[in-house]
Amino acid sequence: MIEFLLHPLVVLAIIWIVVYLVLRFVFRWRPHGAKLYPLGFILRTEKTIGVFDRIVSAAPSLLKVLSDMGIALGFGMMAFAVYILSKNLGVYLFAPSQVGPQNIVIPLVIGVTIRFEHLPYMLFALGVVLVTHEGMHGLIARLEKIRIKSTGLFLFYIFPGGFVEPDEEEFKKASSRAKARVAAGGSFANLVVGLLVVLLMLGIFSTTEAGVIVIEADGSSDIQVNDVIYSVNGVPVNRNTLFENISASETLIIQTSRGNFTYSLKKPINMPLAWVLGELGVKRVDYYFPMKWGIDSPAAEYTIYRTFSWTQLIAINVAIFNMMPIYFLDGSLLLSALLESRIKSEKAIKLLNISLTAICLLLLAANIGFTFKTFGFLQI
């Protein structure tokens, strides 16, 4: 019980509730434009709307072209998401011998499937994603003369979010093309951001790992956290050699970013490189991609790399996932905008949306279920 209460997520929840109770009932805090809840808060403002209008008036033609591109890419991402999940499920069902790490599908849940060490990078990535996503929704809504009631940010527990609140009546009365532009805009912005970050990474970092960086090590180990291990007895350490056997009879020479470490062997060894590092007190490593113009700090370079890596990963995956035809996602709005111009029955459109939602949720659930069945509980 004590161990449960000391878990970081539980401690954070307790802090949230205590802060809420103190501000709400002791100080009677009622800030304008903000709402405080036991596990979060919401901030609303109308000031951002003026910024949207100025940008729209400065480049309306460009935004129209980009929003039309967003529609095309939106349907492409929708088809891609359904295809990939279907193909992945097919591998689990009909070719289990071919299943590997590339088939893993898991939800990103901090403290459950994601280690806490990734939290700062995830929060930064989510911040970039929500600002660009909701910002693009707002810009296109104003481009289409749809009134925006408010914009805002929220924080629920540890998860940030944002929103642009259009006038529902005006959105319903808008043309099918206008609705499609608004619906696809957020994912289009996320996709562009993700691809730009990928290009930036290709320009800044080497595309081949130079070794492995130590993430976790025993306190008694000579090799420390943030050390880069380049080679063992002259054998480069990388994804191709890390799990291959290495033979040594008398000594081991570990080349690292802090110099060489030499160990005398009591008896000859023939074991995978990863096991050798484990015997030396190295518990976890990650592949190290150095910057092309190094800053002489592997830890700083790795931090920058992880920041970019998480940003592109979340931006691209949110873009694709959000375009799935699931009722509460933008993909459903995009598909509805297309269907309402061809199908006059609202009931038929709703039934189709519900059917597609059920199919897509089953696809997701099946992929996640087979992942845990095959690999067990995963934490990255």
Model pLDDT for residues 206-254, shown as the tens digit of each residue: 999 999 999 999 988 999 999 999 999 999 999 999 999 999 999 999 9
Query: In the predicted model, what is the mean pLDDT of the chain?
Result: 91
Which residue has tokens 């069902």? 93
Whether the predicted pLDDT of 111 surpasses 70: yes
What is the band of 3 on the pLDDT scale with cuts at 50, 70, 90?
Answer: low
Per mean pLDDT, which range of 12-26, 205-219, 270-284 is the poorest? 12-26
Per mean pLDDT, which range of 48-62, 103-117, 208-222 is the poorest? 103-117
Query: Between the CA of residue 369 and those of 30, 226, 267, 327, what are the distances in Å?
Result: 44, 35, 45, 22
What domains are defined for the chain? Answer: 2-45 (no CATH), 48-205+307-375 (no CATH), 211-288 (2.30.42)
Query: What is the Cα–Cα distance from 127 to 125, expressed in whole angstroms?
Result: 5
- What's the CA dihedral at 267, 270, 274, 277 to 10 degrees? 20
- Give residue 178's pLDDT: 96
Nearest to 329 by CA among 186, 124, 189: 186
Nearest to 192 by CA among 318, 303, 52, 53: 318
- Give residue 341's pLDDT: 82
Query: What is the Cα–Cα distance from 337 to 343, expressed in whole angstroms?
Result: 10
Mean pLDDT along residues 311-332: 96
- Paired strand residues for 162: 153
Residue 313 CB burial class (10 angstroms; 0-12, 13-18, ≥19): middle
Model pLDDT for residues 335-359, shown as the tens digit of each residue: 999 998 888 888 999 999 999 999 9
Whether the predicted pLDDT of 1 surpasses 80: no
- Give residue 31's pLDDT: 75
* pTM score: 0.89
| Share of residues in the chain with pLDDT > 90 (%) | 71
- Give residue 157's pLDDT: 75
Mean pLDDT along residues 139-159: 88
Whether the predicted pLDDT of 105 surpasses 90: yes
